[in-house]
C-alpha cells in the first residue's frame, strides 16, 4: 500500500497516525520531496477524475493568480498545474490495490482495512 502526501499536513498526520495505530503497513511518498509523475496523475484521473483530487478549498488554490485559475480549461491544464503545485492535491492519497482514496475518513479506512 502506498500513501502520498506532505509530511507537515495535519490531515496526512492524522491518517498516518491512524494507519500506525491500526497496524496497517504502508510506503510513504512526500509530494514536496519527490513530486508526482504525470503518469500517476493520469492514472488517478482515469480512476476518479481530477476534480476529486484537485483541492480548490486550500490555501494554494486561493493564492493563485485569478488568470491562472481561469486558464484551467481542460484535464491536461489541471494535471499540469497539479504536478507543478503538488500541495493542491487533496491529501493524503491512499492506494491499496483497487482502493483509491483522497483525504482522511476514519470510517472509510476502517471499512477498507476491515478494522
Q: Which three cell numbers stand for residue 110?
A: 476502517
Cα distance from N-terminal residue to C-terminal residue, the chain: 16
Q: How far apart are CA 89 and CA 4, in angstroms?
A: 10
Cβ atoms of residues 90 and 45 within 8 Å = no
Is 36 exposed, middle or buried (CB count within 10 Å of its CB: 0-12, 13-18, 19+)?
middle
Considering 3, 4, 9, 16, which one is annotated as catalytic? 9
Sign of the dihedral defined by the CA atoms of residues 54, 100, 74, 35, in that order: positive
Look up 47 and say whether it is catalytic.
no
Catalytic residue annotation: 9
Amino acid at each position: 500500500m502506498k500513501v502520498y502526501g506532505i509530511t507537515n499536513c495535519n490531515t496526512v498526520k492524522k491518517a498516518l497516525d491512524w494507519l500506525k495505530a491500526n497496524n496497517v503497513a504502508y510506503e510513504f511518498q512526500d509530494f514536496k520531496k519527490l513530486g508526482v509523475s504525470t503518469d500517476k496523475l493520469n492514472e488517478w484521473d482515469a480512476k476518479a477524475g481530477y476534480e476529486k483530487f484537485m483541492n480548490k478549498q486550500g490555501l494554494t488554490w486561493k493564492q493563485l493568480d485569478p488568470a491562472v485559475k481561469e486558464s484551467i480549461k481542460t484535464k491536461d491544464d489541471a494535471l499540469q498545474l497539479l504536478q507543478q503545485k503538488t500541495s493542491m492535491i487533496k491529501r493524503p492519497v491512499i492506494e491499496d490495490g483497487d482502493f483509491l482514496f483522497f483525504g482522511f475518513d476514519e470510517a472509510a479506512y476502517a471499512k477498507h482495512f476491515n478494522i
